[in-house]
Every structure is written in structure tokens, then in C-alpha cells.
Amino acid sequence: MKDGKVIYIGKGFIQGVPARDLSLDEWETLDKDTQKLALESGLYKLADKPKYEPIKVGE
Amino acid sequence: MSANAINRETVRDAFSTLLTTALVGDGLPVTAVYNYPFEVSTTKVSPVVVVASSGTARRAIGIGDTRKYDNYFILEVFTFIRDADTTAGWTEAKVEDNLDLIDKRIADVVLDNRVNANWNDIGFSLDPEAIPDPSQIVSDTERGYKLEMRKVYVKKIDT
């Protein structure tokens, strides 16, 4: 199972797409047009990727 | 001085913008407001509101060579909402609740904006004393949606 998710931020829905947060696995089952529609409609947004700061070990 | 009657588009766009602000966004009930009509049954997104021009009446005002009108613009406001969708987790109750909530929010927008720079009055009937025509809700069970239609009447006096 892949990390990350797609966050549901709307109150409406897209036909055939669960109106809730989606896992990346669920997201990838959607065709490209539906993914595009989901993001452009403002109903979903991609969760920010976790940021990793490099650890400086000695200098 | 030549006449310069107000363009109905100005009013339609302004009303659409107000609806967008009140209805679309995080936690708000509508996915998109369009300021032009299109074949909404083809969209997979729901709910959607459409504002379309529906008619105009203009009465010349003043005397002599005054070139101004009382303009009465009629807008058609459509609320399009898809039927229940099991995959989306969208129940019949949710469809009905949203349809009612959108109706209330549109009513709030009209009352909150009785007068502004773009018009002198707005309401659900041409004659403020008359009982307004009710909105109409049509269910298309074959294509799976409901459509609520209402008219909004806007009065603008040329300046």
C-alpha cells in the first residue's frame, strides 16, 4: 500500500468517486480525466508530501 | 448624449460572483457556479448552480431627451444535483438536504444584496407586492439528477 492520501475538501461529489479522503491506491484506480476533474473542481487536494530535512553530521 | 443602457451581462456576472462566494468553497454546498447555461446532465460533478439570462423589460424614464431606462432583468438560476451515488457515499437524504440548503443560501444571497452598485433591487418576483412564483424541481430518473429552476428579478435604473 502506498503512503499518502488525497484529501476531500468539498461538500459535493463526483459520480463514482467516494466523497471522503482517498488513499493513493484508491486515487490510482481513477482514470486520469476523473483525477483531473477531482482536483480542478476543488473537491479534492493532494496531501502535502512529508518534508525531510537533511541531518548534518559533523562539519 | 447618446444612450448607454446597462448590459444584462453585467448583472448576470455580478449575481454569479455573489453566488460563488456564498456557495462554493471548503465546507460549502456547491461545487461550481457557472454564469452561462450548458448541458449540465453531462457533468459528473455535483451539485452545480447555473445562472442564465432569461429576459429583459426596459421602460424609458424621464421627460424630454433623457435617454435612460428602468431596466428589469430576469435571470434563471438552476440547481443541478445528482441522485444518490453508492460509491460516492451520497445518500438520498444528502441529496435532498443539499438541495434545500442551496435553496436557502440562494435566498440569503438575494436578501443580503437587495441593493448594490449593480442594481437597485433584486427579488423573486417582478412586482414586489406580488406573491412570487415558486421554484420548480424536476427529477430525471433516467439520467439520474434533480434540477431546481427559479427566476430572479433584478431592477437597475440607468445612471
Partners of residue A43 in chain B, C-beta under 8 Å: 31, 45
CA distance A48 to chain B (A): 17
- 10-residue stretch averages of pLDDT, chain B, 159 residues long: 89 98 91 92 91 96 84 97 92 94 97 96 90 94 94 94
Residue of A nearest to B33 (CA): A41
* Distance, CA of A7 to CA of A49 (rounded, Å): 12
Confirm or reject contact between A36 and chain B (CB < 8 A): no
Q: How many domains does chain A have?
A: 1
Select from A16, A17, A11, A32 the least CA-distant residue to B105: A11
Select from B59, B71, B36, B54 the least CA-distant residue to B154: B71
Best to test chain A binding among B40, B43, B45 (most A CBs inside 10 Å): B45
The answer as to whether A58 is a domain residue is no
Distance of CA B15 to the CA centre of its chain: 7
- The confidence score (pLDDT) of residue B64 equals 78
Domain ranges, residue A39: 5-46
Domains and CATH numbers, chain B: 8-157 (3.30.2000.10)
Residue A57 CB contacts under 8 Å (≥ 6 apart), including other chains: none
pTM: 0.87
Handedness of CA B18, B24, B25, B26 (dihedral sign): positive
The answer as to whether A56 is a domain residue is no
